C-alpha cells in the first residue's frame, strides 16, 4: 500500500515554479492519490492532505545536492499506533521478572501523525490560507521533527547559528529564505554567520542591534520586534524582548539614517497564551508601527505574529487573528503574514515512558518536608526522569503533567488517553480516574536526582498496586522538554522512538510524505 501511495504521490509532483507570497487554494487537479486513498479509508478525515509542493513557501530552492544518508533526520520510523508501541517496548524490556536483566531506562515515543495533524489543523483554520508557518525550532529541535515539517513545507524560526545550521543541513536542504532569525539580541558573530549562510530575515528591538547589523550584515531584511501585553501568558517574553511603542519611531528613524532595510514588524504574545484577545491587541499595535514606518519612508509588507498558540484555544485564537488581519492588514494590502508556532505543533506528539525505580510510604505531613508540599499523599513513587531531565517543563514552562500507568503489578494495562491528550494544566479530575481506574490512592511522584526540588507531581490519584518496575507514561510531552533536559547527577537524557502513528489516515499521510522524499532527483 505504501508503494502505491508513493507512486501516485510522485506522479502529481510538479517540477516548476513556486508562489512564495500569499497562500493559495490547492487546485483540485493537484490533490494527490494519497488524498483519494485517505478519503476512501476515512471520509471524515481532515483533508485535503497538502503535499509540500503545493505550499506557499518553496520546499527547496538550493542547488540540488547529494543527500547525506547518515543525516540524524533519517531514523527508523515504525508504523505502530503510539500506545501499542509504548506497551510493546515495555513488554520487551521485561522488567517484571526482576532478574536484573531488564532495561528500565525511560524513553519517549513520538507519534509523527500528531505533528501532521497540527499542521493540517493550522492549514484548515481561519488563518490557514493566509499565515505561513515558521516553526520555532527551540521548542523541539529533534531532527526527524524538523525533517517532517520541512517536507510538509513549513519554514523555520531560529534563534542561534547552531539552529540555523541544523535547518540548512536538513536532507531537504531548505533555502535560507525559509528561515527567520527571530532573536532580537544576537552576538555579532551570529549576525556574520547568518550573512554567510544567506539568512536575511532577522529581528531587532534596540539601537545597538541596528549598529551591529550595519557593521556585519547591512543587506539584512530587518523586522522590528515590538512589545505587546503578555500578562495573560505562561511565559512572559515581554520581560526580556520587544520595543515599547514609544521607542519605535526613534528606532525606525535610526534605521533610515543607517540605510538599513526594515521590512516589517514582529511580536510574540508570550508562550502559552491564555487569552486570544492578546492577538487582537498585538495586531493593532503592529498596525500603529506600520504607520510609524510610513512616516519615515518605509513601506512595510511583512508581519510576523509570533508564537504562543495552544491546541485548546486554537480555534478561537486563529479566528481572532484572522478577524484582526482582515481589519488592519486585509489581503489586498499585500502584506505577507507569518507566524512562529512551536508548542502547538509538537506538544501532543511525544509521550514519555518512565519506570518506577523506588517506592515508599509517604512521610507523615509536617515531618521532613514543607507542610503543603505533598500533603495527603499516601505513597511516594520515584521514577527515572525528573525536573532536571525531560520534566524541566515543570520548572521552566509551568506545566502540570499527567500520568497514566502502562503496567500495574507488571501486567500491561489497556487504557490510554485518546487523542488529543489532556493539556498540561490542572485537571479537576486526575487522568487515571478519567480513564476509569476506580481503586486509586493519593501519590506523589519524584524524579531520580538527589534534590528535593525534583518533584514531578506533588499529589495525584494513581491506581493501587503500582510496584517498583512498573511503567508510568506521560502524554503531551513534546514542547520544551527533551531539548532543555540536563544530565545533572549523572542521569541520561531519555531517547526517542519514532512512529508514523499506525493506521490512521494522518499516519498514512506521514508515511507517504516520508517515503516520497527520495533524494537528489527531487
Ligand atoms: C519561543 C518562541 C516562539 C514559539 O513560542 P510557542 O509558545 O512555543 O508557540 C516563537 N517565536 C519566538 C520569537 C520565540 O522566542
How does pLDDT run across 1-28, given as a tens digit for each residue?
Answer: 333 333 333 333 333 333 333 333 434 3
pLDDT at 44: 54
What's the mean pLDDT when you consider all of the chain?
85
Residue 184 Cβ < 6 Å to ligand 1: no
Q: Which residue in 282, 276, 283, 289 sits closest to 229, CA to CA?
A: 282
Quickly state the pLDDT bin for 54 (edges 50, 70, 90): very low
Q: How many residues are there in the chain?
A: 522
pLDDT at 456: 95
What does the pLDDT average to over 150-168? 96
The number of CA neighbours under 13 Å toward the Cβ of 71 is: 22
What does the pLDDT average to over 377-390? 94
Distance, CA 116 to ligand 1 centroid (Å)? 19
406 pLDDT higher than 90: yes
What does the pLDDT average to over 104-112? 95
pLDDT at 503: 82
Residue 309 Cβ < 6 Å to ligand 1: yes
Ligand 1 pocket test target in 268, 270, 305, 479 with most atoms within 8 Å of CB:
268
pLDDT in tens, 164-221: 999 999 988 899 999 999 999 999 999 999 999 999 999 999 999 999 999 999 999 9
Quickly state the pLDDT bin for 40 (edges 50, 70, 90): low
Residue 342 Cβ < 6 Å to ligand 1: yes
- For residue 139, which atom of ligand 1 is closest to its CA? 8
Q: Whose CA is nearest to atom 3 of ligand 1?
A: 307
Question: Are both 77-111+348-499 and 114-346 of the same fold?
Answer: no
Range with lowest mean pLDDT among 200-204, 395-399, 405-409, 458-462: 395-399
Residue 340 Cβ < 6 Å to ligand 1: yes
Quickly state the pLDDT bin for 260 (edges 50, 70, 90): very high
What does the pLDDT average to over 258-267? 98
Distance, CA 394 to ligand 1 centroid (Å)? 17
pTM of the model: 0.86
Residue 136 Cβ < 6 Å to ligand 1: yes
Answer yes or no: are the C-beta atoms of 365 and 376 closer than 8 Å: yes
Q: What percent of the chain has pLDDT over 90?
A: 69
State the DSSP H helix or E strand holding residue 48, giving kind and residue range, or none if neither: none
Report d(CA 93, CA 75) in Å as an integer.
Answer: 21
CA 13 to chain CA mean position, Å: 28
β-pair type (407-408, 411-412): antiparallel
Residue 139 Cβ < 6 Å to ligand 1: yes
pLDDT in tens, 446-487: 999 988 889 999 999 999 999 999 999 999 999 999 888 888
pLDDT at 3: 37
β-pair type (131-136, 440-446): unpaired
Residues taking part in catalysis: 450
What does the pLDDT average to over 478-502? 88
What does the pLDDT average to over 78-107? 85
- In Å, what is the CA distance from 138 to each residue of 167, 232, 276? 12, 22, 23
CATH number (2.40.37.10, 3.40.50.20, 3.40.50.2000, 3.90.1150.10) of 77-111+348-499 reads 2.40.37.10
Q: Which residue in 295, 329, 209 sits closest to 258, CA to CA?
A: 209
Distance, CA 310 to ligand 1 centroid (Å)? 11
- In Å, what is the CA distance from 67 to each residue of 11, 57, 172? 22, 21, 8
What does the pLDDT average to over 122-139? 96
* Fold (CATH) for 114-346: TIM Barrel (3.20.20)
Report d(CA 393, CA 388) in Å as an integer.
Answer: 9
CA 414 to chain CA mean position, Å: 28
Q: Name the one residue in this structure whose C-alpha cell is 499506525.
A: 502
Q: Which of 62-66, 69-73, 228-232 has the highest mean pLDDT?
A: 69-73
- Which pairs count as long-range contacts for 428-434, CB under 8 Å and 24+ apart, including other chains? 430/402, 430/460, 430/461, 431/402, 431/403, 431/404, 432/403, 432/404, 432/405, 432/460, 432/461, 432/462, 432/463, 433/461
Report d(CA 44, CA 521) in Å as an integer.
Answer: 35
Report d(CA 305, CA 440) in Å as an integer.
Answer: 44
Residue 458 or 488, more confident = 458
Residue 138 Cβ < 6 Å to ligand 1: yes
- The 8-class DSSP code of residue 180 comes to E
310 pLDDT higher than 80: yes
pLDDT at 492: 82
pLDDT at 188: 96
Q: Cis ω on the peptide bond leading into residue 421 (within 30° of 0)?
A: no
Distance, CA 466 to ligand 1 centroid (Å)? 38
pLDDT at 366: 54
Report d(CA 280, CA 395) in Å as an integer.
Answer: 29
159 pLDDT higher than 80: yes
Helical residues (DSSP H) of 69-110, grouped into ranges: 82-93
What are the extents of the domains in the chain?
A: 77-111+348-499, 114-346
Residue 470 grid cell: 512498573
What does the pLDDT average to over 361-370? 62
Amino acid at each position: 500500500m505504501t508503494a502505491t501511495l508513493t507512486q501516485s504521490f510522485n506522479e502529481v509532483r510538479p517540477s516548476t515554479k513556486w508562489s512564495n507570497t500569499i497562500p493559495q487554494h490547492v487546485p483540485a487537479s493537484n490533490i494527490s492519490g494519497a488524498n483519494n486513498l485517505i478519503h476512501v479509508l476515512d471520509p471524515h478525515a481532515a483533508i485535503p492532505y497538502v503535499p509540500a509542493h503545493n505550499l506557499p513557501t518553496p520546499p527547496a530552492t538550493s542547488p540540488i545536492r547529494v543527500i547525506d544518508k547518515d543525516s540524524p533526520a533519517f531514523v527508523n520510523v515504525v508504523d505502530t499506533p503510539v500506545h501499542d508501541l509504548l506497551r510493546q517496548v515495555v513488554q520487551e524490556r521485561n522488567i517484571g521478572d526482576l532478574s536484573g536483566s531488564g532495561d528500565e531506562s525511560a524513553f519517549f515515543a513520538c507519534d509523527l501523525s500528531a505533528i501532521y495533524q497540527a499542521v493540517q489543523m493550522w492549514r484548515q483554520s481561519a488563518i490557514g490560507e493566509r499565515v505561513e508557518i515558521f516553526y520555532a525550532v527551540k521548542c523541539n529541535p529533534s531532527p526527524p521533527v524538523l525533517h517532517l515539517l520541512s517536507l510538509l513545507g513549513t519554514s523555520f524560526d531560529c534563534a542561534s547559528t547552531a539552529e540555523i545550521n541544523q535547518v540548512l543541513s536538513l536532507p531537504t536542504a531548505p533555502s535560507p529564505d525559509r528561515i527567520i532569525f527571530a532573536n532580537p539580541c544576537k552576538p555579532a558573530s551570529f549576525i556574520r554567520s547568518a550573512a554567510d549562510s544567506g539568512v536575511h530575515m532577522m529581528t531587532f528591538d534596540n539601537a545597538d542591534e541596528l549598529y551591529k547589523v550595519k557593521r556585519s550584515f547591512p543587506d539584512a531584511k530587518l523586522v522590528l520586534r515590538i512589545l505587546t501585553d503578555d500578562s495573560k501568558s505562561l511565559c512572559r517574553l515581554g520581560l526580556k524582548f520587544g520595543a515599547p511603542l514609544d521607542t519605535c519611531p526613534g528606532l525606525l528613524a535610526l534605521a533610515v539614517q543607517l540605510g538599513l532595510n526594515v521590512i516589517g514588524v514582529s511580536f510574540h504574545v508570550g508562550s502559552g497564551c491564555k487569552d486570544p484577545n492578546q492577538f487582537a491587541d498585538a495586531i493593532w499595535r503592529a498596525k500603529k508601527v506600520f504607520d510609524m514606518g510610513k512616516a519615515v519612508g518605509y513601506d512595510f509588507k511583512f508581519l510576523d505574529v509570533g508564537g504562543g498558540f495552544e491546541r485548546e484555544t486554537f480555534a478561537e485564537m486563529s479566528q481572532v487573528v484572522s478577524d484582526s488581519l482582515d481589519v488592519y492588514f486585509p489581503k489586498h494590502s499585500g502584506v505577507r503574514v507569518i507566524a512562529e508556532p512551536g508548542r502547538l505543533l509538537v506538544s501532543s506528539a511525544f509521550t514519555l515512558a518512565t519506570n518506577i525505580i523506588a517506592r515508599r510510604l509517604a512521610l507523615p505531613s509536617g515531618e521532613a518536608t514543607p507542610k503543603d508540599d505533598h500533603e495527603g499523599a499516601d505513597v511516594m513513587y520515584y521514577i527515572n526522569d525528573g525536573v532536571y531531565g525531560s520534566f524541566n517543563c515543570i520548572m521552566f514552562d509551568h506545566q502540570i503533567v499527567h500520568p497514566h500507568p502502562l503496567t500495574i503489578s507488571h501486567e500491561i494495562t489497556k487504557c490510554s488517553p485518546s487523542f488529543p491528550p489532556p493539556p498540561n494544566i490542572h485537571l479537576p479530575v486526575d487522568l487515571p480516574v478519567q480513564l476509569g481506574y476506580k481503586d486509586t490512592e493519593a501519590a506523589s511522584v519524584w524524579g531520580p536526582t538527589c534534590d528535593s526540588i525534583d518533584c514531578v507531581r506533588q499529589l495525584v490519584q494513581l491506581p493501587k498496586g503500582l510496584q517498583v518496575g512498573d511503567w508510568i507514561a506521560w502524554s503531551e510531552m513534546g514542547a520544551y522538554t527533551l531539548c532543555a533536559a540536563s544530565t545533572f547527577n549523572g542521569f541520561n537524557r531519555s531517547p526517542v522512538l519514532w512512529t508514523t502513528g499506525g493506521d490512521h489516515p494522518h499516519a498514512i499521510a506521514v508515511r507517504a510524505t516520508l517515503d516520497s522524499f527520495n533524494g537528489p532527483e527531487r
